[in-house]
Amino acid sequence: MKWRFPALMPSGRLRRPVRRIIAVQAGPNPSFDYYLGPRLRRFGKMPYEIVDIDRVPSLLDAERLDGTLILFCRYLTAAWLDLIEARGGILAGVALFLDDDIDALFADRSVPADYKLRLLRLHLSHRRRLASCLDLLYVANPRIAERDSLAELRLLSPMSGPRDEPRSREPQIGLRVAFHSTSVHRGEHRWLRPVLRDALKAEPGITAEVAAGLRLRLLWRGQRGIRFLRSRSWPDFRRDTAERGADLLLAPLLPSPANAARAATKRIDAMRLGAALLVSDAEIYKPNAEELALGMCVPIEPGRWSQALVALAHDRPRLERLRDLNRAHVETMNARAEPLLRPKELAGLNL
């Protein structure tokens, strides 16, 4: 069965100047911390609140909602829409941030059923009501809105934060490789298994760490030389990866509509690890000429990826240069980051 959900048609303009922002998130998550959190902190004197999606929104009084922009990070609930419909006349507006093509993920047969149910429960089932009151749509990749030919959207690039700074470490012997992708990337886990098998067989100095819950580990059974990183909360994962580190982060992406709408957040993950980054999609990661020359982008062919790992295991200067170039790219993204709001949209605050 092919599902078709209502299109998001934002007005592209706020109802009135913004006096404060209420940002709604479904628990701590990288989408919020890579896109919205850093931008909220940049506002300086702009009052803002970060609230959990499960909070009862009816407890918010009219004074706090007057001139408020309600900003959803991916997900929302019927209770929040009830509030918006009841208090719409005093709000500054309603905004949504998306860093995934949720429709494409829902249609992808490789995506686990429990994740699809989450998308349905916390986003897709509310799409029609949200579409009728949405003012601003922020996306991490313009392809997210390409299906509906939306012109009224705002593009946000990812930003790192203080918790993404790598720790100082002593040099290690061998090549420490990491693959940190969730069950949504089941296809990439399956694809990467023979890549790592061949690389580890050809170069015993390579060690690998794979983030995988119990179901994903079944795809890796029988594979030697792999250390598995169990599922954990986002704050714990962020802290632990900064502490542990790696030399090289792998970010292959198989061709699919959902993957075409990804953004370059793996650059931040690699920086936090103190690692270089190996990718397959140049359009998403936009490597510069030197990164291309050093082999950062490898076509999605297993043999070429295995060869690239073995070559980097014997070329520490190239690995370190790729690491430094990736960090410089993240710093440039931070410096050029787009603001959430334009000056004329602010309610006369001395920012």
43/205: higher pLDDT: 205
pLDDT in tens, 155-188: 999 999 999 999 887 777 889 999 999 889 999 9
Rama region for 162: left / alpha / beta (φ>0; ψ in -120 to 50; rest): alpha
- Look up residue 10 and give its amino acid: P
pLDDT in tens, 67-94: 999 999 999 999 999 999 999 999 999 9
pLDDT, mean of residues 110-130: 96
pLDDT, mean of residues 52-69: 89
Instruction: Domain 163-334: give its CATH architecture.
Output: 3-Layer(aba) Sandwich (3.40)
Residue 243's Cβ-side half-sphere holds a number of Cα atoms within 13 Å equal to: 6
- What's the sign of the alpha-carbon dihedral 255, 256, 261, 264? negative
Q: What is the pLDDT of residue 234?
A: 95
CA distance 108 to 106: 6
Q: What is the pLDDT of residue 45?
A: 74
Residue among 162, 144, 113 at smallest CA distance from 330: 162
User: Which phi and psi angles does 332 have, rounded to 5°?
Assistant: -70, -40
pLDDT in tens, 302-337: 999 999 999 999 999 999 999 999 999 999 999 999
Written as six digits, the tokens of 92 are 């500054």
Residue among 215, 207, 221, 218 at smallest CA distance from 179: 207
Backbone Cα Rg of the chain:
21
pLDDT, mean of residues 33-52: 90
CB 238 within 8 A of CB 163: yes
- What's the sign of the alpha-carbon dihedral 220, 225, 230, 235? negative
Residue among 107, 106, 127 at smallest CA distance from 116: 106
pLDDT band at 2; cut points 50, 70, 90: low
Q: What is the pLDDT of residue 218?
A: 87
Residue among 128, 349, 60, 140 at smallest CA distance from 70: 60
CA distance 250 to 177: 7
Is pLDDT above 60 for 351?
no
pLDDT band at 42; cut points 50, 70, 90: confident
Written as six digits, the tokens of 106 are 């829902």
Instruction: Domain 20-157+337-345: give its CATH architecture.
Output: 3-Layer(aba) Sandwich (3.40)
CB atoms within 10 A of CB 230: 10
Is the pTM of the predicted complex or chain greater than 0.75?
Answer: yes
Written as six digits, the tokens of 82 are 């009830």
pLDDT band at 150; cut points 50, 70, 90: low
SS3 of the chain: CCCCCCCCCCCCCCCCCECEEEEEECCCCHHHHHHHHHHHHHCCCCCEEEEECCCCHHHCCHHHHCCEEEEEECCCCHHHHHHHHHHCCCCCEEEEEECCCHHHHHHCCCCCHHHHHHHHHHCHHHHHHHHCCCCEEEECCHHHHHHHCCCCCEECCCCCCHHHCCCCCCCCCCEEEEECCCHHHHHHHHHHHHHHHHHHHHCCCEEEEEECCHHHHHHHCCCCCEEEECCCCHHHHHHHHHHHCCCEEEECCCCCHHHHCCCCHHHHHHHHHCCEEEECCHHHHCCCHHHHHCCCECCCCHHHHHHHHHHHHCCHHHHHHHHHHHHHHHHHHHHCCCCCCCHHHECCCCC
pLDDT in tens, 276-296: 999 999 999 999 999 999 999
Give the residue range(s) of CATH 3.40.50.2000 domains in the chain: 163-334
pLDDT in tens, 226-238: 999 888 899 999 9
Q: What is the pLDDT of residue 148?
A: 63
